[in-house]
Structure 1
């Protein structure tokens, strides 16, 4: 399924969950792992002015220091990297730019990141609840391939992705996510759960009968939109009512013991959109399992996949509620 995996970390002296998990996934998939560490400087005048990874003292980096970091990374992750084809790179600049640069250079098919910098306090960065951080934001909004956000280290059995939840809202990006999730489920022999949330108007305007009608209407639309991608895949449709999509997605993932959440980001559907989307950010920030974000139809080409031709106005992508009246 995956052949070239990029994992980025800002930690040098101790294990980082995204790198360890990416290494275990690479071993399982017989993939090549590309481990990246970016030396980020707070100086706008000299980007080579950084803090030593061990002492914290300010210094000007050089080839010798970069080699020392590379060797330290190899030692830190020695156990996980044993017998895995891999390459370690140390770069200077903005992390998201260097991640994108290397991902495109090697034509990777998966980028693995943490939801926020583990060195945020040291860098003077203020973490905002529900925000995945600028590095993930910038990679997701610009990268074509899937981006997997990992909060905690995953065991090898958790990386077999036996229960995959894909959250949909009938948008084009979610259709891409379903196509990708179906290929992933087929590869791992997984059960695929297609989730949709009905946004519920306040009671008493919205009755139980309205909800029942909307569930039936939504199920028919889910089948109409996605059944073509799910042929031969063990799957089910899950529908919930709620007001905040990320809470319902997380609750459904927990209730269904999902090993992976797949989501489509709307970043490339409208020009000028510079953030992944609130549901994507909040799910990735809080999820116990990995969250994989698909932003672009181009992500599907690695697996010889595509999405069906969009018939424009004939394909209604709006979310409808209160259909019982």
Structure 2
């Protein structure tokens, strides 16, 4: 593929759980594939440390032991990722509220991608559907990759969900950056506007079917135009135009099309405000089985 821009630095978060190790492995693979710089970050929860100080007093040896243990685990994780890879990985250890510290570090290094596990210990366990995710995403307009699967190979087939809003072109570009060798499945779920109300109002079935065919034809044309505008060649992508509710159909077709990554997105000045609260994103993150890349971008 041509005209691909650099992904930029990758920031992966770890709490040393198995899902976090999978996320770190995916981040390392992406760094190797794209040439992006990689940072592996661990955040000691400030609230828990504060409780420890209340029980044992400030400066207790236990606190330093926790920090030393975390440092050793972080270095061991980096050593494992570097085994057999000519890859430089920067370690960052922080203390505080994990989403805040991740957001702060992402801003400091101008990260192009945040990578986290779908489940884990501590705050990562609630990342997808809990308040931590909402706080994290409200603190960044940077893309977030939620890793579900153990990575064995580069992404091969990526479903990019399109609604033709201004973020759609950015989502395609991001998919190409994260999965440079993958075939893109450009997906759109169309519906006849107010179909149930049309039936209720007595509009005949033939007219409604005409609207349905028109909506499908429009979606096909717009997907093709977006692919052309994005610089995709015919062998780089395929259309997937289906009727129905987007959230349900994405989950169905990520499996039917044998995809290993789904790209969702939102644009706007407040790009993350309802990102994981929206029905489509929330349903795909909770019900899907593949990795999910949440694409965000600021308005120009």
Q: Same fold (TM over 0.5)?
A: yes
Preserved CA contact (<8 Å) 2:160 2:264: yes
Residue of 96, 107, 110 corresponding to 2:99: 96
Distance between the aligned counterparts of 1:5 and 1:211, measured in 2? 43
1:108 alignment partner, SS class? coil
Distance between the aligned counterparts of 1:254 and 1:59, measured in 2? 53
CA shift at 1:112, angstroms?
Answer: 0.1
Residue of 150, 157, 160 corresponding to 1:166: 160
CA shift at 1:28, angstroms?
Answer: 3.6
CA shift at 1:5, angstroms?
Answer: 1.5
Distance between the aligned counterparts of 2:140 and 2:36, measured in 1? 20
Q: Which is richer in helix?
A: 2
Distance between the aligned counterparts of 2:223 and 2:19, measured in 1? 45
Distance between the aligned counterparts of 2:223 and 2:269, measured in 1? 20
Partner residue, 1:295: 296
Distance between the aligned counterparts of 1:23 and 1:226, measured in 2? 29
Matches of residues 182-197 of structure 1 in structure 2 within 5 Å? 182-183=176-177, 187-188=180-181, 190-197=182-189
Preserved CA contact (<8 Å) 1:163 1:257: yes
Deviations 1:216-240 (CA, angstroms, capped at 9, x unpaired) = 1221233345531144352222111
Matches of residues 210-225 of structure 1 in structure 2 within 5 Å? 210-225=211-226
TM-score normalised to structure 2 length: 0.77
CA shift at 1:134, angstroms?
Answer: 3.0
Partner residue, 2:238: 236
Partner residue, 1:36: 41
CA shift at 1:270, angstroms?
Answer: 5.3
1:17 alignment partner, SS class? helix
The count of residues paired between Structure 1 and Structure 2 equals: 278
CA shift at 1:208, angstroms?
Answer: 4.4
Which deviates more from structure 2 when the two are superposed, residues 219-228 or residues 85-94? Answer: 219-228
TM-score normalised to structure 1 length: 0.72
Which deviates more from structure 2 when the two are superposed, residues 246-255 or residues 11-20? Answer: 11-20
